[in-house]
């Protein structure tokens, strides 16, 4: 009697395992990606408002497009392009300086620094200055704090023939997201 129970239990286990193997419940578990393995791309765009402080205060207004490649929970790369207008107020000479910046920045990882480069144009409505601006910063949520240096030609500002504008600066920009799309595994 005891032998018959063991035999029936063994047959039941063999039949059950064959039925499970036919439906292959393990395969979806192996194919399903965990939260750490998901790959996603997201795009965000919108306007930003900023304040720059250096030798002078500068108000900034512009547009930015961010592309984030997320490869798991801890690894992500963000790249952004931006362009914007700014106005410098030199209260000592009552001479506003208007400008335009076009550039990009990139960040690897979630907590790493951002590295950027911009092309800049400045005018006091009498003359133009062109240059570049390398920058480094940190981005938390939609607030991007950067520091950098404008290298505007002509580089000599010792005489009074060129207007004054920021060389070294620190800025804070806040992005208002208007469009957001996600692509990839969900």
CATH assignment at residue 128: 2.40.160
Q: Is the pLDDT of residue 159 over 90?
A: no
**Residue 7 binned pLDDT confidence (cut-offs 50, 70, 90):** low
* Residues 26 and 97 reside in one and the same domain: no
Instruction: Render pLDDT for 118-139 as a digit per residue (tens, 0 to 9).
Output: 999 999 888 889 999 999 999 9
* Residues 155 and 90 reside in one and the same domain: yes
> How many whole angstroms separate alpha carbon 82 and alpha carbon 100?
11
> How many whole angstroms separate alpha carbon 143 and alpha carbon 175?
7
> How many whole angstroms separate alpha carbon 77 and alpha carbon 112?
10
Q: Is the pLDDT of residue 6 over 80?
A: no
What does each C-alpha distance from 80 to 69, 72, 109, 116, 173 come to in angstroms?
12, 20, 14, 9, 13
* Residues 68 and 156 reside in one and the same domain: yes
Is 119 in contact with 99 (CB distance < 8 Å)? no
Instruction: Render pLDDT for 70-98 as a digit per residue (tens, 0 to 9).
Output: 876 667 899 999 999 999 877 777 778 89
Radius of gyration in angstroms for the set of CA atoms belonging to the chain, rounded to a whole number: 29
* Residues 26 and 46 reside in one and the same domain: no
* Residues 25 and 70 reside in one and the same domain: no
Is 139 in contact with 78 (CB distance < 8 Å)? yes
**Total tally of structural domains belonging to the chain:** 2
Instruction: Render pLDDT for 9-66 as a digit per residue (tens, 0 to 9).
Output: 555 555 555 554 445 444 444 445 555 556 789 999 999 999 999 988 999 999 999 9
Give the range of the structural domain holding residue 79, as residue numbers without chain letter: 39-184
* Residues 67 and 6 reside in one and the same domain: no
* Residues 44 and 27 reside in one and the same domain: no
* Residues 17 and 46 reside in one and the same domain: no
> How many whole angstroms separate alpha carbon 136 and alpha carbon 153?
21
């Amino acid at each position: 009697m005891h032998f018959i129970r063991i035999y029936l239990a063994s047959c039941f286990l063999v039949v059950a395992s064959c039925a499970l193997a036919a439906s292959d419940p393990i395969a979806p578990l192996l194919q399903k990606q965990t939260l750490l393995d998901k790959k996603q791309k997201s795009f965000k765009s919108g306007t930003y408002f900023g304040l720059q402080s250096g030798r002078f205060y500068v108000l900034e207004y512009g547009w930015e497009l961010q592309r984030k490649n997320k490869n798991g929970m801890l690894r992500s790369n963000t790249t952004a392009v931006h362009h914007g207008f700014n106005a410098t107020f030199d209260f000592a000479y009552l001479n506003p300086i208007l400008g335009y910046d076009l550039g990009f920045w990139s960040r690897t990882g979630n907590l790493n620094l951002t590295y950027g480069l911009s092309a800049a144009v400045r005018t006091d409505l009498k003359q133009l200055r062109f240059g570049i601006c390398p920058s480094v910063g940190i981005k938390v949520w939609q607030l991007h704090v950067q520091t950098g240096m404008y290298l505007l030609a002509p580089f000599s500002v010792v005489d009074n023939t060129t207007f004054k504008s920021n060389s070294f600066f620190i800025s804070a920009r806040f992005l208002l997201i208007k469009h957001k799309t996600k692509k990839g595994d969900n």
